[in-house]
Structure 1
Amino acid sequence: MGLLTIGAFAKASRLSPKALRLYDELGLLTPARVDPVTGYRLYAPQQLEQARLVAWLRRLGMPLARIQYVRTLDAVAAAQEVRAFWAQVEADTAARRDLATFLVDHLSRKDPFMSPTAESLGIRYAALSDTGLVRAGNQDTAYAGPRLLAVADGCGSHGGTASAAAVDALKPLETDGVSAGSLLNVLEEVVEQAKQAVHDIAGSGPSVEATGTTLTALFWTGSQLALVHIGDSRVYLLRDGELFQITHDHTVVQSMVDEGRLSPEEAASHPQRSLLVRALGPGADTTPDMRLYDAQREDRYLLCSDGLSTVVPAQDIHRVLAEVSEPEQAVRELIARANGSGGPDNVSCVVADVLELQQ
């Protein structure tokens, strides 16, 4: 079979002549020959497979620059790149879905502080942070108050200062009035303040790019808990005897698990398991996850740094939360478990129980 005209090739490849001309200009799909007199583009039949791949990748929404890169790969590597791209699309979609859910719930409710449920529920809480058995200093910050629960895990030359500053930026939530109508805006504002506080601290140190922090917080509205989460600190919920991890780790390794490139078992021992893809700090992706959770009587929430979750198995965390009734005793027991497993990192825990208020 001889060369195909651009019209015939467009029909066979399911790409429009306009798209083919654009891809030629970008060097993405170069014609086999251009007629020197007419300027007509002619394509070889062997180019159809590549053209169809480009068409399918465009239907996925992959950017042209990334398609150009995929074309340079062998089949196995190209498949991995497509898997990675789609995992990112799903993560982005999940983040937008969470925000949409937040907005729908947020806009459809009356002020939670005025609801009957808000008058009957409250929280009791405890927070504790420990240096562990290996680190020279503690870069974690743990905080628990009537409305705010937070854990931050700093890193770098000023990590401890950064984690404390990030939590301090959220503390006005304890005293400032927050209505249902302003909740989302207020949360966004305090997160921006936390970002700026960490950036200012990182900028004052000798190693700007090395200073940052995670930030995971729950804000109690009286009937709901609003989550703000960035990094690999975690929130667990114990409800009806079952333990659920309600945050998603923003780490390189978790991204590889999401993409199918690592199993959860492999991720647990991966040498880069603590490398973050999102955090508060210069040069990092600082986009937080934000969600709303309806509170139920007898719910128990645990916020913790990775100094607990990486060394204490989930079943042991579950056992402590289910069996130790007082939050103060529970945080002490969890930290003791982490140190009993070698205490390789700073460890911070906040435990909060949702309970019915006495009338």
Structure 2
Amino acid sequence: MNRVEVVGVTHRGRVRPANEDTIAVAGFLSAVPEGEPVRLTVSSTRPVTCLVADGLGGHADGARASRLAAQVIVDASPTFADSAAIVAAVHRADANLYAESGHPLPRGAMGTTVVVLTVSGADATCVNVGDSRCYLLRDGLLVQLSRDDSPPPSRPGPAAPTGRVTQTLGGRLTPAPIHPHVQRLSTIAGDRFLLCSDGLTDYLPVDDVENCLTGGGRPDDVVRDLLRRTLDAGGGDNVSALLVTILE
């Protein structure tokens, strides 16, 4: 039996006119009041899959792209017995975006990033394409499980957000191969995973993220605090976060 608690929130931010992010938990896609966290406790014998998809701003139909990709992955999620099945679903989502957008497009094909976390028994698998992230908090230590598809820094020192990614689902005039990043690990009760779009991590330093997660607050309060801090820091992009806690 897989038992997890998930608190999720999505918000358009303080600048963007619309929200192009999509969040999904155990088959449910985001259709919630903007900015209000929602909590779900999931008990299932099937794998439990959560994801954040961030539609590409400035491309055609970013919101549609993130929702379509999320729907393809969610529909396949009951069969996620291993990482190969998750990767195959991500590839199908990529192909569907190109099929739906058609060619040529004057503004480019619609595209999205995605980060997926599947919990199955005592194992978890993280798969990502783009710069939406997944972190694990265990024993007070925060570790990034996902891998950013971002351009290398132009100069030594901490890399500033570029707003560009080197790999996405869709998002190009002609289809290009994608190579999803995969991270597998064993879970223990009390593990916390944070899935988020770059609208959070571009504005909130990782130390602040860690402080929020280790502060001992209830998951609902932690997610509210993450959103508040991000908006206070400028909130220049859509913001989405899922906090996943392993109960058993």
TM tier, shorter chain?
0.7 to 0.9
Of structures 1 and 2, the larger Rg is shown by 1
Structure 1 residues 202 and 332, CA, compared in 2 at 3 Å: closer, same or farther?
Answer: farther
Quick one: which of 191, 210, 215 aligns to 1:299?
Answer: 191
Please give the alpha-carbon distance, in whole angstroms, between the structure 1 residues aligned to 2:14 and 2:214: 26
User: Offset at 1:206?
Assistant: 4.3
Amino acid at match of 1:167: A
1:173 is displaced (CA, Å) by 4.3
Any conservation in 1 of the 2:19–2:63 contact (CA below 8 Å)?
A: yes
CA distance in structure 1 between the aligned counterparts of 2:137 and 2:207, rounded to whole angstroms: 12
Residue in 2 aligned with 1:191?
Answer: 90
Structure 1 residue ranges, 4+ long, deviating more than 4 angstroms after superposition: none
Change in Cα spacing, 1:264 to 1:229, as seen in structure 2 (3 Å) is: farther
Partner of 2:121: helix, strand, or coil? coil
Aligned to 1:198, the other structure's residue is in SS state helix
Which amino acid in 2 is paired with 1:192? Answer: H
Distance 1:285 1:153 in 2: 19
Q: Determine the structure 2 residue equivalent to 1:166.
A: 69
Residue among 109, 120, 126 paired with 1:227: 126
Q: Give the TM-score, by structure 1 length.
A: 0.58
The runs of 5 or more residues in structure 1 that have no matched partner are 1-118
- Which residue matches 1:153? 54
Residue 150 of structure 1 and its aligned partner are, at CA, apart by 0.4
Cα deviation for residue 324 of structure 1 reads 4.8
Letter in 2 for 1:352: V
The residue number in structure 2 matching 1:141 is 22
Instruction: Identify the structure with the greater helix proportion.
Output: 1
- Aligned-pair Cα RMSD in Å: 2.1
Partner SS for 2:10? strand
- Whole-angstrom CA distance in 1 between matches of 2:211 and 2:184: 26
Structure in which a larger fraction of residues adopt strand: 2
The percentage of aligned residue pairs carrying the same residue is 30
Please list the CA deviations of residues 37-69 of structure 1 after superposition, one character each: whole Å capped at 9, or x if unmatched: xxxxxxxxxxxxxxxxxxxxxxxxxxxxxxxxx
- Residue in structure 2 matching 1:241, options 121, 125, 140: 140
Q: CA deviation at 1:285?
A: 4.3
Alpha-carbon distance, 1:268 to partner: 1.5
3-state SS in 2 of match to 1:209: coil
User: Structure 1 residues 169 and 327, CA, compared in 2 at 3 Å: closer, same or farther?
Assistant: farther
Q: Provide closer, same or farther for how the CA distance between residues 218 and 250 of structure 1 changes in structure 2, counting only shifts above 3 A.
A: same
The aligned residue for residue 336 of structure 1 is: 228
In structure 2, runs of 5+ residues without a counterpart are 27-41, 43-47
Q: Secondary structure at the match of 1:268?
A: coil
* 8 Å contact kept, 2:130–2:168: yes
1:225–1:208 Cα change, 3 Å:
farther
Partners of 1:339 and 1:204 lie apart in 2 by: 37
SS of 1:157's equivalent?
Answer: coil
Distance 1:184 1:315 in 2: 30
Offset at residue 225 of structure 1 (A): 1.1
How far did 1:148 drift?
1.0
Q: State how 1:106-145 maps to structure 2 within 5 Å.
A: 119=1, 122-145=3-26
Equivalent residues, number: 223
